[in-house]
Structure 1
């Protein structure tokens, strides 16, 4: 059987890197995509079956060149994981248009561009798209006017993709992580915020990157062959009990 190939954006670190490692454990090859070339080279160095491709997903020409390079290297694409993302957490009045555009460029435009460029290859394999949203796209919170709006748009884009691409056998789903114990989160979440999150989540703990990756790889696999257009919150139950914690308001 021909080895399947996953294209994972934002895979130099965090959820993207954890997902790439899981794909390899499950017998896939992985095209690891990131704009941070040094970090990507380091992350992929010891990963047999993975190849790094430096690309800024917000730049159309780079995306087209990247997809062509992936196809030249692997000959096929069976799954696209749109994980690359950026964030600024600011009050609405302090979110200038440059910050708004920076977030939309990567979080929304990047998902559109990479998915669109990969459609011909996904038609050939009847492949899967998994977009990474956020619980901030499911429910409003403070300080997230740009980030939350970008992720809400990704959620709707997923539904559009599922509706339009299903006739080609392409499935599209969205995973919305809740609080995840990444280096970035631990650097910006104060003890007060961490305590508030833990109090609010039914599972009473942060998730980890591999737990999110397990959901992503499942949705890309044949085990999810009849699942499309779904929005799955991997969040310890947090979305069920709401957001907008007092500790996150300033």
Structure 2
């Protein structure tokens, strides 16, 4: 299952039933879990750990050095979980010493063609990155986030779980969970991702509570501090609102407004 033209470093560790296509290069300190399929012309540099049953398409480049002038060759890593789909020309860089040292991608994510994930990003589970979407360094992406085509997130920003970033939208501030951003430059909140929540089994009561929280935060004319006080009350009856409140408390940048 290893093509004769593939180049695999002696220190690389490949699990059972790993397939490596023609002319792919697997570097030193790379570990690949069982059942993962690597297409032709893929380059994986280490230190990189990749889990089980991933599908990595041709011309992907994983584990390259971070594109950061502060990087001085320190040992950093890329860690990828299980059952991810990584399509053509995707690039994912390792972390930096100053940024925690690890770029991390969870499980069951789709990274479609030409996606870029920069150094020290932390991506959850069940996300979708559409074609040409990109993350700058140190970005955090929650579970079930959808990044539409040609969208991008500025460095150090956080995007909460179940958020939806519209096509061509450039995110320069933190996006709370469940929020849908408009498909325009310097994107702005445009309601909640109600359709996505329905598809994931959220019942009407849960969605109604999230809508009330959104109106409190964005439509009631309140300061963020005053809105937070009201969210504390709403969170007593909704775990989803509690998740929004926890996100606000963790946010270190301006909130998307």
- What TM-score, normalized by structure 1, do the two folds share? 0.26
Larger RCO: 1 or 2 (CA < 8 Å, sep 6+): 1
More strand by share: 2
| Largest Rg, 1 or 2 | 2
